[in-house]
Chains A and B, each alone.
Chain A
Amino acid sequence: MATILVIEDNTAVRNTVCRILQSGGYDVTIAEDGRKGMAMFRRQRPDLVITDIIMPEQEGIETIRQILGDQPDAKIIAISGGGRMGHIDFLDAARKLGARDILPKPFDPDDLLSRVENCLAAA
């Protein structure tokens, strides 16, 4: 089964995303911020990364940049609750940087699963 790394600072959101992904049958590992997420990514090389944008320590844009710098074909889905700078900009930025897909919070669990599935099915 595909492995997915979830980088998200909010515990409740992280648990929820994990639960949704596990219900879809994926192996899920988690990280609480971008820095830990980056370390986890290097160690595990997951099939897909789902990262929040606004996080303490190291925010998501920088994390996406580092992951793609490390592995240009890495698959990333960016999620964000919007806010500080208008989340569309952040998510747009994430997409421009190379995130395969973006998803504003809150989201429908089926939506998340279908995006993950599409992402993983793509080359």
Chain B
Amino acid sequence: MALSLPHLVQPDPGIPAPVAVRNFAQNIILGVIVAAIMVIAATVVILWQLRQADMDTGLADLTAFDLVLAAQTERNFESVELVLTDTIDEMIAAEGIDPDTFGARQSGESTHRFLSKKATSLPQLNNLLLVDAKGTVINSSHHYPTGGGSVADRDYFVALRDHPELRYFIGAPVVSRGTNTWTIFIARRINAPDGSLAGVLLGAIALDYFNNFYRDALATGGRSATLWRDDGTLLARYPMLDDTIGKRFDMTTSFQELDANGGSATLWIDGKIKYGRRAIAERRLGQFPIIATTTRTEESILASWRRQAIVLSIGAVFLIGVITLAAWLMIRQVVALRLVAEARSEAEREIEARQSLQVAVDIAQTAMDDLKRSEERFRDIAEVGSDWIWETDEQHRFTMVAGRAQGLLDLIGKTRWEGIHGDPNTDAQWRRHKADLDSHVPFQGFRFSFKLPNGQIEHVMATGKPVFDNGTFKGYRGTVTNETALVSARERAERADMLLRDAIESLSEGFVIFDEDDRYVMCNDAYRSLYPGSADQMVPGRRYEDILRAGVKAGQHPDAIGQEEQWITRRLARHRNPGAQTEARLADGTCILVCERRMANGGIAGLRIDITALKHVQESLHDSQAVLNRAQRVAQTGSAMRYFDGDRIEWSDELYRIFGVTRETFKPRTALFLDLIHPEDRDAVEAELIANDKGPNPKAMQFRVVHSDGAIRWVYRDTQIWFDSAGVMIGRLSTYRDVTARHLAEVRQMQLERLLRDAIESISEGFVIFDPEDRLVTCNQAYRDLYPQVSALLVPGTPFEDILRHKLIALGDPTIEGNKEAWIAAQLRQRGELGEPVEQKMADGRWILAFDRRMSDGGTAGLRVDITALKAVQNSWRESQERLERTQRISHTGSVDRDLRTGKVEWSDETYRIFGVTRGEFSPSPDTTTALVHPDDRASFVEKMLVDPEKHIGTTLRYRVIRPDGTERIVRGEPSVIYDADDNPERIVAALTDVTESELATRRQADLEAQLNHSEKLTALGTLAGGIAHDLNNTLVPIQALSKLLLREFPDAGQTREDLETILDASLQARDLVQQILAFSRKQNIVKQSIDLVATIRTSLTMLRASVPRTIELVEKIESVPPILADNSQVQQVIINLVTNAAQAIGDKIGRITVSLSSAPADALGRETIELSITDTGRGISDEMISRIFEPFFTTKPVGEGTGLGLSVVHGIVASHGGTIDLQTTLGEGSTFIVRLPAQEADTSEEAEPRAVA
């Protein structure tokens, strides 16, 4: 999961979160659809290409097969036609043709015997019939005498009679009267000397012969072979169909194609005979009006393609299924996380609501406190008592005023109402007061207000009692208390009370106040509506318990039902010790949160919050939490939430599992948490926790956790700070992912990748891979060493063309300088073709053999093999030959002439030069000459040259001469004697040749030849190819095997897996490449079994006859031989390669190839040997070439026309069968390749079987 939880918990405020989730889901679904379309498209393209390839191969096969079929059939017709011609010729030679007597003369028994003899020479020839000019059958090879039937109405007779220019005619098939089988007649016209029709000779060919032949030739189903006359008459067919032979079909369209293409064609048709689309290959049989066709149904051609298609389609469907499943899981995960996030924000809103409620409660509390303080002050004032003392007279006029108010008003002599401008006549208060005063009763608590001169209003309370003097009313005396402060306090208290009421009424939550005696004071409407059952009890002064009991009785506390008394007791206890919040349920299902607080005055304020919605949220939150836990468990991801407020830490279930502890026994605290960390990682984790966890930019980290059982888990921790809406950090959300498996896999992957890299690097040959866009993927050091000029570019991703251009600049080849672009284009084109290995000369003079191979993914794998040493051997041999020739050219011969009678010795100039002396300074004589001869050679020199030369005439003497300057020369001398007239020896004449250089050269050549022989031997045994193959196979072992093993480490699709598959593909390609350059065309599975060479050769020659030109005669001289243990197809390849080579040696000329097979004498090991020889009358092979013909890649053909592997392949196969191959050749006359193979030993047939593992 690439998504992180915090992002979802705090969605971007600009985008509504559900939209984000929906967009995410839409993107995923869109991605799945696109991926599915791509998979389907890729599958369709691959299937189409595979289908095209299979169809092309099928057509090519069919054409080749038809060629063989046509050739074979043509030969059959040809031979019958030949017999007919031959028969007629012999008849003419024997007796001549007289049209008048022809019928009579040829109807005799001798003619019958003659015909019988002719007819038996060919198996396919059933009957020879002789017909006279009237169409009467006069003789037959089959029986005698003939019935004398008439064929005058038959198509062939009519055609030949009416068209003298026809030599022969092939009749429509008929059912033979004699044998009741389908027969076709080749009719041959017999001309009289004047050119008129003398008769007709008929050759009857049983069509069964062709049917049987086709049946043998058609191995696989879905094919058919048919023989047609070119007018569309069907002659023979396999598989045979009823009622088709002899029928005419409309073949115009397909035969037109045939004529348009020079006698052969391949096309698709809807079957003429059997329905269904099929490929048809047609070929005209040379001179005959006959066409051989073979067909193959599209169904059989495409059979293997269909199987591939089914497998590929299933694979594609499966892939789409996997992608869809993955996407579905991803969407589900995101939706679950979204739910959690929504629940959390809902909960936050509830908490905010609760906080605002709290503020309201606090305001109410403050108002209550104010009220209380006012009351206290009032009581204080009351206690202090009056402010003024006063006395009035009988007329209620003030006589005395004393106290704080004195001086404020001028009251003396005025009544009270006069003093403050009251009027008893108009004002009821004052009227009552005056009435009281007039009746002389005491008064108390008379309250009135007045305005001071300064505008201030004073509230006062007056108390007075009458004063009697001996029963006579004297006036009043009393006090006045200023109540101004009290009144204003009362007003303020009323205002506060109103405010409180307004405040609590405005609350949507229920609010109630009980006094310190737990009696009801007040509540708001919300409270009342919550408790409709006890609302009538809510009157001030009613005890809480009474209200509660009324509520229980009314059934508005469902929790209490059945246990009323206990519940009430508990509820009261909680009420009297308020503080904790409790949840309660009401009768209508509403859930409320009960918050009660003791107030400063000892009373209790209660709050009822409707949390029904919150409860639902909580429940869904709980569900979401469970979903989250499950999701985390699946993802092996745990989360921890740490609230900075109170430093509370909450762990998810999965996190406990990851840390190997349980919720019951482990409390998530930082200190304890650190104990779980691996000691080596602990400091780093602690540092991170201290340094950054509360900071704004926490870092992700990976560390190890040690479980109590000692198991070590790798954990990846990612942290995000959680802000509230005001941007204040309120917590930190950490996710912990168990990445142990991933970590171990990564470590393992690194190790294996290193191993793989080492493996590629360990190849001593250069190895490089380019991707389908021709960019470098990887190469080894050997490759970089080969191209030091561009080594800086040999990094992954460099396009091949860039490397090429830099190489061009680095090399600075002047021949390319002018037309760089053309050179590069040529190189790139050549690269596009790939295929053949190319020899390249490097800037430093080294030679490499470059193999580039297209991989299945379109990329290129390349190998560079250093062949400098091989090149050097080849070159030095060439040089030494030239030197030898030069030496021979400049060698001179000197002569010595000794007169036996005078003893005088004459030397030629060359002789002086040879002996290193100069004429005049040296006088040659036997003694002086002997002195110059090497001491070791003197004895034989004296004996053969001086004492008795006569005995050694015709022999040569090799001796060494030591020149006066000390150098040694090797001399070859040949004495001859010259006789005088009396036949007495007169003179000895010796020819001396300085062979020093020659001998040195010879010795040098012998050394080189030995070297070359060695090289030749190695080459002939395929060592170059084989050695490379061996080493490459070795180096391919780790690449192929380890990449295969690595693939198991990455079962899921991904870049690494793709890369590994590329490497594996490349190694498989390289393996195939090795098989190619091995030049042994052995098949992957060589099956050596007991085979009869006679049959193998016959089959091979049948195939070859189609491809060898008609100008070359193929002669068989085949004896039966013992079986050999061999691979049949390999032996066939030997024969085909050798015969093809022989045909190419003959070329366009007329010639003959003789294939002989015979038993040969036992070889050195006592094994019976079989000798197969192929002799041609071609141009022969020169001596220089003999040594090289078995070398791989050696060819005399123009570049591109031959691989140069043919004879190398032959050699490899023969060697692998324990045989030998020899060559006898004469330039201009031809060559014979002799292959000797050991016969199968009597008891080896069992040993050759794989040994059963018992």
Q: Is B1071 an interface residue (CB 8 A)?
A: yes
Question: Which of B141-149, B304-312, B383-391, B1019-1027 lies at the interface with chain A?
Answer: B1019-1027
Which residues of chain B come closer than 8 Å to A85, judged between CB atoms? Answer: 1021, 1026, 1215
Q: Mark each residue of chain A from 3 to 17: 1 if its CB lies under 8 Å from any CB of chain B, else 0.
A: 000000011110111
Q: Are A106 and B1042 in contact (CB under 8 A)?
A: no
Between A15, A19, A20, A86, the greatest number of chain B beta carbons within 10 A of the residue's beta carbon is seen for A86
Q: Within the assembled complex, what's the spacing in Å between the Cα atoms of A91 and B971? A: 55
Q: Within the assembled complex, what's the spacing in Å between the Cα atoms of A96 and B762? A: 33
Which residues of chain B come closer than 8 Å to A95, judged between CB atoms? Answer: 1250-1251
Between B1045, B1212, B1253, the greatest number of chain A beta carbons within 10 A of the residue's beta carbon is seen for B1253
Q: Which of B903-944 contact A (CB under 8 A)?
A: none
Q: Within the assembled complex, what's the spacing in Å between the Cα atoms of A81 and B1250? A: 20
Q: Within the assembled complex, what's the spacing in Å between the Cα atoms of A82 and B1031? A: 9
Q: Are B1027 and A16 in contact (CB under 8 A)?
A: no
Q: A16-B1037, A82-B1029, A82-B1078 are in contact. Are A109 and B1045 (CB under 8 A)?
A: yes
Which residues of chain B come closer than 8 Å to A123, judged between CB atoms? Answer: 1254
Q: Within the assembled complex, what's the spacing in Å between the Cα atoms of A122 and B1031? A: 32
Q: Are A108 and B1040 in contact (CB under 8 A)?
A: yes
Q: Are B1247 and A108 in contact (CB under 8 A)?
A: no
Q: Are B1030 and A12 in contact (CB under 8 A)?
A: no
Q: Is B1156 an interface residue (CB 8 A)?
A: no
Q: Are A84 and B1030 in contact (CB under 8 A)?
A: yes
Q: Are A105 and B1082 in contact (CB under 8 A)?
A: no
Q: A20-B1045, A23-B1045, A86-B1026 are in contact. Are A12 and B1215 (CB under 8 A)?
A: no
Q: A81-B1031, A88-B1082, A109-B1045 are in contact. Are A12 and B1216 (CB under 8 A)?
A: no
Which residues of chain A come closer than 8 Å to B1215, judged between CB atoms? Answer: 85-86, 89
Which residues of chain A come closer than 8 Å to B758, judged between CB atoms? Answer: 12
Q: Are B1037 and A12 in contact (CB under 8 A)?
A: yes
Q: Are A107 and B1041 in contact (CB under 8 A)?
A: yes
Which residues of chain A come closer than 8 Å to B1078, judged between CB atoms? Answer: 82-83
Which residues of chain A come closer than 8 Å to B1026, judged between CB atoms? Answer: 82-86
Which residues of chain B come closer than 8 Å to A23, judged between CB atoms? Answer: 1045
Q: Is B41 an interface residue (CB 8 A)?
A: no
Q: A83-B1029, A96-B1247, A100-B1251 are in contact. Are A105 and B1021 (CB under 8 A)?
A: no
Q: Within the assembled complex, what's the spacing in Å between the Cα atoms of A108 and B1041? A: 6
Which residues of chain A come closer than 8 Å to B1033, judged between CB atoms? Answer: 81-83, 104-106
Q: Is B577 an interface residue (CB 8 A)?
A: no
Q: Is B233 an interface residue (CB 8 A)?
A: no
Which residues of chain B come closer than 8 Å to A13, judged between CB atoms? Answer: 1034, 1037-1038
Task: Give min CB distance, B1087 to chain A, whole Å.
Answer: 11
Which of B1022, B1041, B1082, B1088 lies in contact with A106, CB distance below 8 A? B1041
Q: Are B1021 and A84 in contact (CB under 8 A)?
A: yes
- Count the A-B residue pairs with Cβ separation under 8 angstroms: how many? 112
Q: Are B1253 and A105 in contact (CB under 8 A)?
A: no
Q: Are B1042 and A107 in contact (CB under 8 A)?
A: no
Q: Which of A48-103 contact B (CB under 8 A)?
A: 54, 80-89, 92, 95-96, 100-101
Q: Are B762 and A12 in contact (CB under 8 A)?
A: yes
Q: Are B1071 and A11 in contact (CB under 8 A)?
A: no
Q: A15-B1038, A83-B1030 are in contact. Are A108 and B1044 (CB under 8 A)?
A: yes
Q: Is B1080 an interface residue (CB 8 A)?
A: yes
Q: Is B1036 an interface residue (CB 8 A)?
A: yes
Q: Are A12 and B759 in contact (CB under 8 A)?
A: yes
Q: Is A44 an interface residue (CB 8 A)?
A: no
Which residues of chain B come closer than 8 Å to A89, judged between CB atoms? Answer: 1215-1216, 1218
Which of B1023, B1029, B1039 lies in contact with A81, CB distance below 8 A? B1029
Q: Is B415 an interface residue (CB 8 A)?
A: no
Q: Within the assembled complex, what's the spacing in Å between the Cα atoms of A87 and B1080? A: 11
Task: Give min CB distance, B1213 to chain A, whole Å.
Answer: 9
Task: Give min CB distance, A61 to chain B, whole Å.
Answer: 15
Which residues of chain A come closer than 8 Å to B1031, judged between CB atoms? Answer: 81, 83
Q: Is A119 an interface residue (CB 8 A)?
A: yes
Q: Considering only CB atoms, which chain A residue lies closest to B1023 in the complex?
A: A84
Q: Within the assembled complex, what's the spacing in Å between the Cα atoms of A104 and B1031? A: 13
Q: Are A54 and B1041 in contact (CB under 8 A)?
A: no
Q: Considering only CB atoms, which chain A residue lies closest to B1254 in the complex?
A: A123
Q: Considering only CB atoms, which chain B residue lies closest to A9 in the complex?
A: B1034
Q: Mark each residue of chain B from 1232 to 1254: 1 if its CB lies under 8 Å from any CB of chain A, else 0.
A: 00000000000000010011011
Q: Within the assembled complex, what's the spacing in Å between the Cα atoms of A12 and B1250? A: 29
Q: Considering only CB atoms, which chain A residue lies closest to B1043 in the complex?
A: A109
Q: Mark each residue of chain A from 22 to 41: 1 if its CB lies under 8 Å from any CB of chain B, else 0.
A: 01000000000000000000
Q: Is B1086 an interface residue (CB 8 A)?
A: yes
Q: Is B240 an interface residue (CB 8 A)?
A: no
Which residues of chain B come closer than 8 Å to A87, judged between CB atoms? Answer: 1030
Q: Are A106 and B1040 in contact (CB under 8 A)?
A: yes
Task: Give min CB distance, A112 to chain B, whole Å.
Answer: 8
Q: Considering only CB atoms, which chain B residue lies closest to A16 in the complex?
A: B1038
Q: Within the assembled complex, what's the spacing in Å between the Cα atoms of A104 and B1030? A: 10
Q: Are A54 and B1022 in contact (CB under 8 A)?
A: no
Q: Are B1212 and A86 in contact (CB under 8 A)?
A: yes
Q: Within the assembled complex, what's the spacing in Å between the Cα atoms of A83 and B1021? A: 9
Task: Give min CB distance, A106 to chain B, whole Å.
Answer: 4
Q: Within the assembled complex, what's the spacing in Å between the Cα atoms of A107 and B1067? A: 11
Task: Give min CB distance, A11 to chain B, whole Å.
Answer: 7
Q: Within the assembled complex, what's the spacing in Å between the Cα atoms of A109 and B1049? A: 14
Which residues of chain A come closer than 8 Å to B1034, judged between CB atoms? Answer: 10, 12-13, 81, 105
Q: Is B755 an interface residue (CB 8 A)?
A: yes
Q: Are B1022 and A86 in contact (CB under 8 A)?
A: yes
Q: Considering only CB atoms, which chain A residue lies closest to B1211 in the complex?
A: A86
Q: Within the assembled complex, what's the spacing in Å between the Cα atoms of A86 and B1032? A: 14
Q: Are B1037 and A105 in contact (CB under 8 A)?
A: yes
Q: Within the assembled complex, what's the spacing in Å between the Cα atoms of A22 and B1250? A: 28
Q: Are A82 and B1040 in contact (CB under 8 A)?
A: no
Q: Is B1035 an interface residue (CB 8 A)?
A: yes
Which of B1021, B1042, B1071 lies in contact with A16, CB distance below 8 A? B1042
Which residues of chain A come closer than 8 Å to B1028, judged between CB atoms? Answer: 83
Which residues of chain B come closer than 8 Å to A106, judged between CB atoms? Answer: 1033, 1036-1037, 1039-1041, 1067, 1071
Q: Are B1253 and A100 in contact (CB under 8 A)?
A: yes
Q: Are A12 and B1027 in contact (CB under 8 A)?
A: no
Q: Are B1038 and A122 in contact (CB under 8 A)?
A: no
Between B1028, B1031, B1067, the greatest number of chain A beta carbons within 10 A of the residue's beta carbon is seen for B1031
A to B CB contacts below 8 Å, 8 in the list = A20-B1041, A83-B1027, A100-B1251, A100-B1253, A105-B1033, A106-B1036, A107-B1037, A119-B1253
User: When A and B form their complex, which 10 residue pairs have the shortest distance between CB atoms, in order from nearest?
Assistant: A83-B1030, A81-B1033, A83-B1026, A122-B1253, A16-B1038, A86-B1216, A106-B1036, A105-B1033, A81-B1030, A10-B1034
Write the residues of chain B forming the contact surface with A, with a CB cutoff of 8 angstroms: 755, 758-759, 762, 1021-1023, 1026-1042, 1044-1045, 1067, 1071, 1078, 1080, 1082, 1086, 1088, 1212, 1215-1216, 1218, 1247, 1250-1251, 1253-1254
Q: Given A89-B1215, A106-B1036, 11 other A-B contacts at CB below 8 A?
A: A12-B1034, A16-B1042, A19-B755, A19-B1042, A81-B1037, A83-B1027, A86-B1212, A88-B1216, A89-B1216, A109-B1045, A110-B1044
